Amino acid sequence: MTTSPIPARLIKWLLVLIAVGVSLFPFYWMLRTALAPQSQQLADGLGFWPAHLDFGNFARAWNKANRGQALLNGLIITGAILLLQLITCVPAAYVFAKIRFKGSGILFGVVLACLLIPTQATMVPTFIGINLFGLGDTRIGLVLPFYSSAFGIFLLRQQMLSIPDALLDAAKTDGLGPWRTLLRVVVPMSMPSIAAFAIFSVFTHWNDYLWPLLVARSPDLATPPLRLAVFQQADIGFDYSALAAGAAIVTAPILILFLFAQRRFVQGMAGGEIAG
Amino acid sequence: MTTVLDKPVPSLAAAGKPIDPNRTRATPYVFIAPAMSGIGLFVLLPALLSFIGSFFAIPLATGANWKWVGFDNYTSVFSDPTAHRAIENTLLYCVITIIPSLVLGLLLALLAESLRHGRTLVRTALFLPMTANLVAMAVVFKWIFALQGGFANQALAWIGVAPINWLNDTRYSLISVALVGVWRGVSLTMLLFLAGLTTIPGAIHEAAAAEGIRGWAKLRTLILPMMKPTIVFATVLSILTSIQAFDQINVMTQGGPQESSETILTFTWKVGFSYFQLGKPSALSFVLIAVLICIGLVRRRAFSAEQR
């Protein structure tokens, strides 16, 4: 590897730089627009750098769109979904990975089938059902359909398969019941994939747009992306700066979370393979 | 229980003294019940109802009763030019997002893995699109693709190409939203491939080096076969993401202009929730699923034929 000639390395780095540039450019453009003074946007909005920094856009975005409320909603809903998914999926994954029982094959087949059913096919009946039970336009209606996750069961199971059976047998001989085996042996050993799934779940539901768009009709319930989309279509006129600032506010929490949790996430996703 | 824990007596446990055999037998079902009820109620049941509903006329607005219409919804899907467009566009969108996502994702993963300096920094930068809020990014991409003053056209001007009406030209709208899909998709597939690359044992690399296998030959004969599970997983995830693309399309073009970027999901959304007709979008969903299953079967056959 050390012998690779200079031109090859140069080309490699050039490709890397292009990829990094394309990957980061929209983020940069968002920040640039958010920090540029409002007057600069269309007149000479072509500059690569803002003329001078203007943090007032963030204040306008925050106030106009009642962003605090939306962020709080996002936090509550994402947190509730995450908690429920961990409670439901971890034990199920453990059973599918390590315990043989009647019908396990068929039931895991059901999990795989659910993994492959697209939103299109489930969205309308779920919406009708949620409304039928009077849960339309409520926080419960935003959370309930996601209390379990086929992807979660699948991903966690894949890693739990690699837990040595001897360890579980040892736990049994030590008199640990299934619950304590789960909590004291399986969960600690599956932390990488649990972390990866948790981050994945937070990404998905913080960023979800379609379901809140259907369910959250009253503005008080809006999640951050929904609020942003409404803000984008409606009353803002040409206040691009405030819109970009709003986009930055929605993006920042997940970005920061990812920067902190990156290593665990990548490790945990390594287990997410379909065996064979 | 606690006494057993404090002082493990293997012989006692080995003698198999289950506290209550019925309870132990029920345990697996107790463990999976919450999760299975969730996907049963909110994935399987709706999908089933949707399938049944595709044979009915369901006027949601008037609250009138369901009316059996047989295959009318399906025939109307096949005779409706917009529905046609939606199916075509969805398949086209899948092709022009999935293939680049997988190929570029693999290349970037190999590239990032081979770096000696700044590897972590490069990885982080390349992962970021995956974390981005697609609605927020769609808003930004809308400006980048703006006809006047958009960065994309400005960049074209630098190399002397006439501006393109990215979002409002029927020829380019689907490509524009697909570019956003690729921008994000590459980041996810790259992450999966990187994770997959780390599972290849170092001994394999050493053996390959000793045998003098490197470059393209190493990739084709060693790396790719070993990464097959990851490739399958990445392909499945890419297909799922692409057929469900909605966010950036709804923000950037809303399916327009003239249905040129209408996909099955945006169409379902419009017909179902703007005109409150539910039978037809359900039928459309199942046409899509049927098409996907057919493609899956053909691909599987191609795959197994290749292996023989």
The whole domain housing B203 covers 76-307
Chain A segment 61-90 residues within 8 A of B by beta carbon are: 87-89
Overall number of domains in chain B: 1
d(CA B184, CA A236): 27
- C-alpha span between A251 and B137 (Å, rounded): 9
The B residues from 15 to 74 touching A (CB cutoff 8 Å) are: 19, 24-25, 27-29, 31-32, 34-40, 42-47, 49-51, 53, 60
Chain A 115-154, residues with CB within 8 Å of chain B CB atoms:
115-126, 128-129, 144-150, 152-153
Does B229 map to a domain?
Answer: yes
- In the prediction, which pLDDT does B10 show? 43
- Residues near B178 by beta carbon (within 8 Å), at least 6 away in sequence: B93, B96, B97
The pLDDT of residue A37 is 75
Structure tokens at B98: 């999935």
Percent of chain A as helix, strand, coil, to the nearest 5: 75, 0, 25
Distances (CA, A) of A206 to A81, A125, A252, A253, B168: 10, 23, 11, 9, 30
Distance between CA atoms of residues B272 and B279, nearest Å: 8
ipTM summary value: 0.81
Indicate whether B17 pLDDT > 50.
no
Give the burial string for A198-224 (b: 16+ CB within 10 Å, else e). bbbbbbbbbbbbbbbbbbbeeeebbbb
| Amino acid symbol at A37 | P
**Least confident span in A50-59, B14-23, B141-150, B179-188:** B14-23
Find residue B57's DSSP bridge partners.
Answer: B67
**Number of other CB atoms surrounding residue B170 within 10 Å:** 13
Instruction: Note whether A140 and A257 are within 8 A (CB).
Output: no
Return the DSSP state at B277.
Answer: B
Q: Per-residue confidence at B307, pLDDT binned at 50, 70, 90?
A: very low
| Residue pLDDT, tens place only, A84-95 | 999 999 999 999
The mean pLDDT value for B281-305 works out to 71
The DSSP code sequence of B40-71 is: IIIIIHHHHHHHHHTTEE-BTTTTPPPEE-TT
Cβ contact B60–A128 (<8 Å): yes
Amino acid at B244: Q
DSSP A117: -
- The torsion defined by the Cα of A255, A88, A155 and B201, in degrees rounded to 10, comes to 90
Residue pLDDT, tens place only, A72-83: 899 999 999 999
Higher pLDDT, B274 or A76: A76
pTM of the full predicted structure?
Answer: 0.81
Round to whole Å and give the CA distance between B124 and B145.
26
Whether the predicted pLDDT of B8 surpasses 60: no
More confident residue, B307 or B84: B84
Question: Cβ–Cβ of A224/B133 closer than 8 Å?
Answer: yes
Q: Contacts of residue B251 in chain A, CB cutoff 8 Å?
A: 229, 232
pLDDT of residue A33: 82
> pLDDT value at position B23?
54
User: Of all residues in chain B, what percent carry a pLDDT higher than 70?
Assistant: 85
Asked if A89's CB is within 8 angstroms of B139's CB, the reply is: no
B233 touching chain A per CB within 8 A: yes
- pLDDT-derived band at B100 (thresholds 50, 70, 90) equals very high
Amino acid found at B248 = Q
Cβ-in-10-Å burial (0-12, 13-18, 19+) of B299 comes to: exposed
Residue with tokens 């790719």: B224
Residue A199, both tokens: 């981050």
Going by pLDDT thresholds of 50, 70 and 90, the confidence category of residue B102 is: very high
Q: Say which residue, B14 or A28, is predicted with more confidence.
A: A28
- B101-128 in b/e form (b: 16+ CB < 10 A) is bbebbbebbebbeebeeeeeebbebbbb
Nearest CA to B155 out of A22, A113, A132 is that of A22
Q: How confident is the model at residue B5 (pLDDT cuts 50, 70, 90)?
A: very low
What count of other Cβ atoms lies within 10 Å of the Cβ of residue B44?
Answer: 18
Q: How many CB atoms lie within 10 A of CB A40?
A: 18
What DSSP letter does each residue of A58-99 carry, written as one string? HHHHHHHTTHHHHHHHHHHHHHHHHHHHHHHHHHHHHHHHH-
Tokens of A131: 């409304």
| A172 and chain B in contact, CB less than 8 A | yes
> Is residue B177 predicted with pLDDT exceeding 90?
yes
Within 8 A by CB and 6+ apart from B181, the residues are B93, B97, B101, B241, B242, B245, B248
Give the C-alpha separation, A178 to B27, whole Å: 8
pLDDT at B64: 64
Counting residues of chain B whose pLDDT is more than 90, the rounded percentage is: 18
CB within 8 Å: B273 and A214: yes
A66-214+261-269 to CATH, choices 1.10.3720.10, 3.30.420.40, 3.40.50.720, 1.10.645.10: 1.10.3720.10
Name the residue among B165, B131, B166 with its Cα closest to residue A26: B131
Return the structure tokens found at A60: 């306008």
CA dihedral sign, ordered A53, A56, A58, A60: negative
B52-67, pLDDT tens digit by residue? 888 887 766 666 677 7
CATH number at residue B277: 1.10.3720.10
A46·B10 Cβ contact <8 A: no
In a domain, B23, yes or no: no
- Residues B111-127: what's their mean pLDDT? 86
Residue B9 confidence (pLDDT) above 70: no
Look at B79 and B94; give whichever has higher pLDDT.
B94
Comparing CA positions, the residue from B90, B93, B83 lying closest to residue B272 is B83
**A55 min Cα distance to partner chain B (Å):** 18
Contacts of B193 in chain A (CB under 8 A): none
Q: Which residues pair with B277 in a beta bridge?
A: B59
B101 has a pLDDT exceeding 90 = yes
pLDDT higher than threshold 50 for residue B16: no
A24-43 residues touching B, CB cutoff 8 A: 24-27, 29-30, 33, 42
- Is residue B277 in some structural domain? yes
Measured CA to CA, the distance from residue A243 to residue A250 in angstroms comes to 11
> Which parts of chain A have pLDDT scores under 50?
1, 43-44, 272-276
* Cα–Cα distance for residue pair A224/B139, rounded to 1 Å: 14
Q: How confident is the model at residue B224 (pLDDT cuts 50, 70, 90)?
A: confident
- Interchain CB distance below 8 Å, B125 and A20: yes
Which among A268, A22, A216, A150 has a CA at the least distance from the CA of B179? A22
In a domain, B24, yes or no: no
Domain ranges of chain A: 6-54, 66-214+261-269
